[in-house]
Amino acid sequence: MSVRRVAEEAGMSLGSLRHYFDSQSELLAFSMHLVSERIIQRMESLPPYNDPRKSIEALIEQIVPLDEERLAESQIWLAFTTFALTEPDLKPLSREIHDLLSNLFRSKILGVLIDSGLAKPGLDAELEAKRFHALVDGLLVHGVIASEVVSAKDISRIVAKHLDSLLER
């Protein structure tokens, strides 16, 4: 992803785009903020579910590449996180997004399972939140780089299977 390529895709001159973004870092930061806002907006507009599991699945569906829109967002996230590894200006935003997701998995997913009495007794909530976060990050990466092997249906099935592993039988 480069400023030049984005300008070409947007049908703009490089100069016009550079008027708004001086660097690839600025463009990626803007794109990542936009993706984050879209995901949060989708999550906040989800209908209330009586079933905590349904609520959790609906939240996760907003993050993973299940359709073209979420695939494009996932591609931006992957480009951003990769670039942030070597770009000091992007590290704070990368950490902020990571922490936001970690909190989501800890409070909105594991917290809900435990508070609703659905989680297996004695579950290590902190460890399981990290494990779930890592699983979803991995599914996002696989959904971007190997979508012909890991389909949207596969992603949904894997998330459901993982949720099953956390639930009291």
Query: How far, in Å, CA of 50 to CA of 165, rounded?
Result: 21
DSSP 8-state class, residue 89: G
What are 46-81's pLDDT values in tens digits? 998 999 999 999 999 999 999 999 999 999 999 999
Q: What would the two tokens of residue 111 be?
A: 């917290």
Instruction: State pTM to two decimals.
Output: 0.85
Domains of the chain, each with CATH number or no CATH: 24-166 (1.10.357.10)
Low-confidence ranges of the chain (pLDDT < 50): none
Query: How far, in Å, CA of 66 to CA of 127, rounded?
Result: 26
Q: In angstroms, what CA-CA distances link 123 with 19, 101, 168?
A: 52, 20, 10
